[in-house]
Amino acid sequence: MMILMPDGYLPLFIFLVVAMAFPVVLLLAMQFIRPSRPSTVKMEAYECGIQAASDSRGRYTVRYYIVAILFVIFDVETIFLYPWAVRYRQLGWFGVAEVAVFLGILIVGYIWAYKKGALEWV
């Protein structure tokens, strides 16, 4: 029984098969090529030459996560501003108003985070 496939999907199917097979083939090939000489030093958690002082699963303050989330928000802001900058002339004053509202909301969020003390490292 023959499966009928439109000609337009054949390159996509081939790309999908190659993309899925590529990492598997590389991992199998590297397992045979790479040298494998495990030792107690290599099996330690840190290979910097210094013994670990404590367990690495300690607790971190919430501030690190808040700063990380603020960094992600800043990245998303940059991602949303790029298409606007590309189409600046076509959007005109309507685009300027949209970006002003967008940046205004973000600035209010940053002010709120600053007042809550999320940006302080003390």
How much is the pTM? 0.44
Positive or negative, the Cα torsion across 39, 42, 48, 52?
negative
pLDDT tens figures, 33-47: 988 887 877 777 665
Determine the average pLDDT of the residues in 44-68.
70
**Domains of the chain by start residue, with CATH:** 7-116 (1.20.58.1610)
pLDDT at 45: 67
pLDDT at 1: 56
Q: What are phi and psi of 16, to 5 degrees?
A: -65, -45
Mean pLDDT for the chain overall: 81
pLDDT, greater one: 121 or 104: 104
pLDDT at position 113 over 60: yes
pLDDT tens figures, 4-41: 666 778 888 999 999 999 999 999 999 889 888 878 77
